[in-house]
Amino acid sequence: MFVTPGYAQETAPAEGDAHGDAAHTEVAGGEHGSGVFPPFDPASYPSQLLWLAITFGLFYLFLKKVALPRIGSILEVRRDRIAQDLDQAARMKEEADAAIAAYEQELADARKRATAIAQEASAGAKSEAEAERKQVEAALEKRLQESETRIAAIKTSALKEVDTIAEDTAATIVQELLGGKVDKAAVAAAVRSARE
């Protein structure tokens, strides 16, 4: 009921002047100033509601069908990409860890092997030295024995000569002292008994 008179009031000057220039709007304002504050002017409601419905409705549809899915997909893609990159980073880190572990394992192996080789080498050297020492010792022993046999031979021969010398000497002494012939066998027996 209230809408219609307001509308009639509005259209009356508008017919004379289609495009409301400043003067016209002031006239309209003046008219309304008597009664209605523009935001509360019911004459403008149908137009405002219609155009709001059209513009907001299209805006809503556009956002719902086009803009929001697009932004959503951008964010989704980014989230996926970040997750993927993080996964890849984690995988690479695992690989790096594995490589480090393998390297350390290899290092430990190498160290063990080196120790083994060193031990082997030192054992070899020791046994070689031992063998050489034994050989030298054996050679020395042999020469010692040879020397001992020689000494023993010399000693025996020397002792044998001692007998002969003693018999000769005794025979000579007896001959000088007693004169005459000396029984060699008696002298030898005497010497032997004296020596025993």
Partner 1 sequence: MANDPIHQFQIAKWIPIEIGGLDFSFTNSSAFMVATAVGAGAFLYLTTSSRGLVPGRLQSISEMSYEFVANMLRDAAGTQGMKFFPLVFSLFMFVLVANLFGMFPYFFTITSHLIVTFALALLVIGTVVVYGFMKHGFGFLKLFVPHGVPGVLVPLVVAIEVISFLSRPISLSVRLFANMLAGHITLKVFAGFVTSLSAFGAIGVAGAILPLVMTVALTGLEFLVAFLQAYVFAVLTCMYLNDAIHPGH
Contact residues: partner 1, CB under 8 A? 3-4, 7, 10-11, 14, 18-20, 22, 25-26, 28-29, 32-33, 37-41, 43-56, 58-60, 62-64, 66-68, 70-75, 77-78, 81
Task: Compute the distance between CA of residue 196 and CA of residue 190 in angstroms, rounded to an integer.
Answer: 10
Both tokens assigned to 178: 């007693």
Least distance (Å) from partner 1 to the CB of residue 2?
Answer: 13
Q: Looking at beta carbons only, is 3 or 123 nearer to partner 1?
A: 3
Place of tokens 């004459």: 43
Q: Looking at beta carbons only, is 72 or 124 nearer to partner 1?
A: 72
φ and ψ at residue 56, rounded to 5 degrees: -70, -40
| Distant-in-sequence, close-in-space partners of 36: CB < 8 Å, separation ≥ 6 | 6, 42, 43
Least distance (Å) from partner 1 to the CB of residue 88?
Answer: 15
Q: Looking at beta carbons only, is 4 or 105 nearer to partner 1?
A: 4
By the 10 Å C-beta count (0-12 exposed, 13-18 middle, 19+ buried), 44 is classed as middle
Q: Looking at beta carbons only, is 28 or 171 nearer to partner 1?
A: 28
